[in-house]
A = this chain, B = another copy of it.
């Protein structure tokens, strides 16, 4: 296969710290090492379908390493295989993947680097199946992509969440309060787990370990009785009760105005205050976790991913996603990872560490030494 002369790049899915660092590294590597040109499609796959792009040269990517967001823009819902088109006042969905590939050919791009999460990887894989070479770069603040030890953006999101928990500590302590902090994490609890551990949380609730309101309140009350002035409850937005307790969905289905409930954080806030009688406040971190300058860790990881992706692209590879194993950048077939989710194993060492430090996961776990939950 002849060496490609042009690399196309796009960023898909939700915003994430480090996107610009990947874009910069792909571009610099392609230009420096492989004497290639790089074009960046605007607003994710939408720009690819609509042939909107900018050249990515040294001047364009200069100074973007530390910037949050993506200079290319992104789109949450864009999909060349299912693109909304207006037809006589109606919106119909059409397969525009041929046009997307034509647009790449038009600018001479022989390969497309797709920076994104699971949704983006799935689309990338389909494009590869249609004969368009693609290389993937794993991005998600949730850290739930399989096939890699870590995704870029995660460390930055953990920092934002942990810093928020640090701030709430002082308020909780001054007022004898329970502070509930809701982090992102619809399917996987990595962000809640890591930020809870780093922020010194007392209870961590993640989708992988269904919680019991009883266990949570026992921990809160035990802390209160033993003279601790506060408890910090870190809850992933996807956390769910184990059995007897109401889910957010149930409360929503039961509510005439579901949009207002918010999420599990607000629900727990009400429930904990009612059951323990201790004043409880809720903070939903929301989009703060996606924004801001990436941490040095993420800048380096994103740069390494970007260099790796440019190398794979320049060498004519396709259908691979760059990944990190230990300290090594490598790659893995996108097919092996697309469509699945890397969850927190409930018995993983880091959960055991958290339990050893006295954290409660909202369950009641017996170990050979003791019932861990609610015990310290």
Contact = CB atoms under 8 A, between A and B. Distances in A.
Interface of A: 11, 15, 17, 19, 24-25, 28-29, 31-35, 43, 58, 63, 65-70, 73-76, 149, 155, 158-160, 162-164, 166-171, 173-176, 179, 194-195, 197-200, 229, 255-257, 259-262, 266, 270, 281-284, 286-288, 290-292, 295-297, 299-300, 303-304, 307-308, 310-311, 325-329, 349-350, 352-353, 356-358, 367, 369-370, 372, 375-376
A76 B175 CA distance: 8
B288 A69 contact: no
Contacts of A200: 63, 65-66
A135 to B, nearest CB: 15
Contacts of A159: 295-296
A69 B307 CA distance: 30
Given A167-B68, A176-B73, A291-B167, A300 B198 contact: yes
Contacts of A15: 170-171, 174-175
Contact of A303 (B170, B197, B291, B310): B197
A288 B149 contact: no
A-B pairs, top 4 by smallest CB distance, nearest first, are: A68-B170, A69-B170, A167-B291, A198-B296
B169 A291 contact: yes
Interface of A is mostly: helix
Which of A256, A287, A369 gathers most chain B CB within 10 Å? A287
Given A28-B358, A260-B262, A297-B297, 10 more contacts: A29-B357, A35-B369, A69-B173, A69-B174, A73-B229, A155-B296, A179-B287, A194-B300, A256-B257, A295-B295
B73 A175 contact: yes
Contacts of A166: 66, 291-292
Nearest to A230: B69
Which of A65, A167, A176 gathers most chain B CB within 10 Å? A167
Which of A163, A174, A256, A325 gathers most chain B CB within 10 Å? A174
A111 B34 CA distance: 51
Contacts of A358: 28, 32
Nearest to A24: B357
Contacts of A31: 376
Contacts of A69: 169-171, 173-174
B303 A353 contact: yes
B356 A296 contact: no
B287 A168 contact: yes
Which of A34, A170, A358, A376 gathers most chain B CB within 10 Å? A170
A357 B288 contact: no
A127 to B, nearest CB: 22
A304 B175 CA distance: 25
B281 A356 contact: no
A71 to B, nearest CB: 9
A19 B65 CA distance: 22
A34 B65 CA distance: 37
Given A291-B167, A297-B297, A33 B370 contact: yes
A287 B283 contact: yes
Contact of A32 (B171, B173, B356): B356
B303 A357 contact: yes
24 contacts: A11-B174, A15-B171, A15-B175, A28-B356, A28-B376, A32-B356, A43-B176, A68-B169, A69-B171, A69-B173, A73-B176, A74-B174, A158-B297, A166-B291, A167-B291, A167-B292, A179-B287, A194-B300, A198-B300, A256-B256, A260-B266, A295-B297, A304-B350, A308-B353
